[in-house]
Amino acid sequence: MKLDVNMLRYLSKEDFRVLTAVEMGMRNHEIVPCELVERIASLKHGGTYKVLKNLLKHKLLHHDSSKYDGFRLTYLGYDFLAIKTLVNRGVFASVGRQIGVGKESDIFEVATEDGTVMAMKLHRLGRVSFRAVKSKRDYLKHRSSFSWLYLSRLAALKEFAFMKALEEHGFPVPNAVDCNRHCVIMSLVQGYPFVQVKQLQNPEVVFETIIGLVVRLAEHGLIHCDFNEFNIMIDDDEKVTMIDFPQMVSVSHHNAQMYFDRDVECVFKFFRKRFNMSFQECTDDNDGTEVDTDASGRPCFSSIAKDAVFLDKELAASGFTKKDQEVVEKFIEGGLEKDASSDDEGTGDGTHISEEDASSDDEDSEDATHISVLNEANIKGVDSLHLLDQEGD
């Protein structure tokens, strides 16, 4: 997806005000009627319609007249709101090239004023194959409504919380810098995705390190659930960093054993195929680790998980609640079972955000751009957004 951040510079204060008004309206409207946008934005000199047209031209909004006339945010519009907020907070000052495309994310370089480069991950839930989207929709049918934007925001919050907690426990993960909406800022990992590595100096050592990570995660009550050569980075010194955490589950999950075994199997399979390794040799040479293994040398889930110490407290400290976990876990699980191919058929912008979603918010009330702390009652009563006057130039 193209992200022309130069456009950010040309967007006026009014543009952002109206864009934010649409975001707010989406808390309880699938499509936000023009009059509501006008009322929430309450531009001093009017002209909301003209601004809407401009935002539409730049694809920050989508016009929908299927049920009634109105607008909703596109992912690009959501990107701009998150980027603007993080720039206002001083987290970074510029956006650079795209460095990764995941199934349901885009990753860009960003840089601070003093030139420190970091990674920005924009979550894009819903950007999967049509069938996967459908199965997820079916899964969510008990909910009156949902939103890809809302789910992407939860995925980002979860990723941020897990990354921070893992970092605090000494796991080799990127440094979790900040998070807003569907966007996570983290340190840039030096090195390459493991899938690109054809040769290793010390394959046995790297193998032990990687399997050791799966085991240590389980000892901390967690399973990565997508632990493969695409989500492991490795540098020239063969130092390993793991990434990509939105799908992690607890070892108490009802499918925990299966996810754990699958993560382990991915590692075994990759080393066998890519580095011609056979495993008896390296799992038998006891290097002081006391992990129960089965006859084939694979770590044994039940004996590890029974003594697991959970990271609940650390996760809660990042603002990620149990309820958030349930919602995102249920949603992402559909995708875990059968890995979705990444055609863009299902690209979804936000749809309706239910009241339940709207009330479970939100982190940064101190933030000028971020006004989603308001609930439905506030929205109805809102005449103008004084908050917004402080930001943008």
Alpha-carbon span 338 to 335, nearest angstrom:
6
Active site residue: 226, 244, 263, 362, which one?
226
Could you confirm whether 226 is annotated as catalytic? yes
- Shortest distance (Å) from residue 204 CB to Mg ion: 25
Axis-axis angle for helices 13-25, 75-88 (nearest 10): 120
**Contacting residue, 121, 127, 164, 181, with ligand ADP by CB under 6 A:** 121
Backbone dihedral angles phi then psi of residue 370, each to the nearest 5 degrees: -90, 110
Instruction: Determine how many CB atoms are found less than 10 A away from the CB of residue 215.
Output: 20
Backbone dihedral angles phi then psi of residue 102, each to the nearest 5 degrees: -95, 180
The token pair that represents 307 in the structure block: 């003594």
Q: Is 126 in the site for ligand ADP (CB under 6 A)?
A: no
Backbone dihedral angles phi then psi of residue 164, each to the nearest 5 degrees: -65, -45
DSSP 103-160: TTEEEEEEE-TT--EEEEEEE-TT-S-HHHHHHHHHHGGGSS---HHHHHHHHHHHHH
Instruction: With contacts defined by CB under 6 A, name the span among 36-44, 95-103, 126-134, 203-211 that binds ligand ADP.
Output: 95-103
Q: Is 178 in the site for Mg ion (CB under 5 A)?
A: no
The entry of Mg ion, ligand ADP, none near residue 104 (CB within 5 to 8 angstroms by kind) is ligand ADP
- Shortest distance (Å) from residue 302 CB to ligand ADP: 29
Q: Is 193 in the site for ligand ADP (CB under 6 A)?
A: yes
Q: Is 119 in the site for ligand ADP (CB under 6 A)?
A: yes
Instruction: With contacts defined by CB under 6 A, name the span among 27-35, 187-195, 263-271, 382-390 that binds ligand ADP.
Output: 187-195
Instruction: With contacts defined by CB under 6 A, name the span among 39-47, 51-59, 184-192, 331-339 that binds ligand ADP.
Output: 184-192
Q: Is the CB of 126 or the CB of 392 nearer to ligand ADP?
A: 126
- Shortest distance (Å) from residue 244 CB to Mg ion: 4
The token pair that represents 1 in the structure block: 């997806």
Q: Is 189 in the site for ligand ADP (CB under 6 A)?
A: yes
Residues within window 92-151 making contact with Mg ion, judged by CB under 5 A: 102
Q: How many residues bind ligand ADP (CB under 6 A)?
A: 18
Q: Provide the strand spans (E) within the chain.
A: 32-33, 61-64, 70-73, 94-102, 105-111, 117-123, 176-180, 183-187, 192-193, 222-223, 232-234, 240-242, 249-250
151-180 footprint of ligand ADP as x/- string (CB under 6 A): -----------------------x------
Q: Is 102 in the site for ligand ADP (CB under 6 A)?
A: yes
Q: Is 244 in the site for Mg ion (CB under 5 A)?
A: yes
- Shortest distance (Å) from residue 213 CB to ligand ADP: 15
Answer whether 378's CB lies under 8 Å from 3's CB: no
Answer whether 300's CB lies under 8 Å from 306's CB: no
Radius of gyration of the chain (CA): 22
- Shortest distance (Å) from residue 242 CB to ligand ADP: 10
- Shortest distance (Å) from residue 297 CB to ligand ADP: 27
244-283 footprint of ligand ADP as x/- string (CB under 6 A): x---------------------------------------
Element (H, E) at 200: none
Axis-axis angle for helices 203-219, 256-275 (nearest 10): 170
Q: Is 188 in the site for ligand ADP (CB under 6 A)?
A: yes
Q: What is the largest CA-CA distance in the chain?
A: 76
Q: Is 291 in the site for ligand ADP (CB under 6 A)?
A: no
**Contacting residue, 171, 230, 275, 279, with ligand ADP by CB under 6 A:** 230
Answer whether 251's CB lies under 8 Å from 212's CB: no
The residue count of the chain comes to 393
- Shortest distance (Å) from residue 10 CB to Mg ion: 33
Positions in the binding site for ligand ADP (CB under 6 A): 99-100, 102-105, 107, 119, 121, 174, 186, 188-189, 193, 230-231, 243-244
The catalytic site residues sit at 226
Which residues bind to Mg ion, rule: CB under 5 A?
A: 102, 230-231, 244
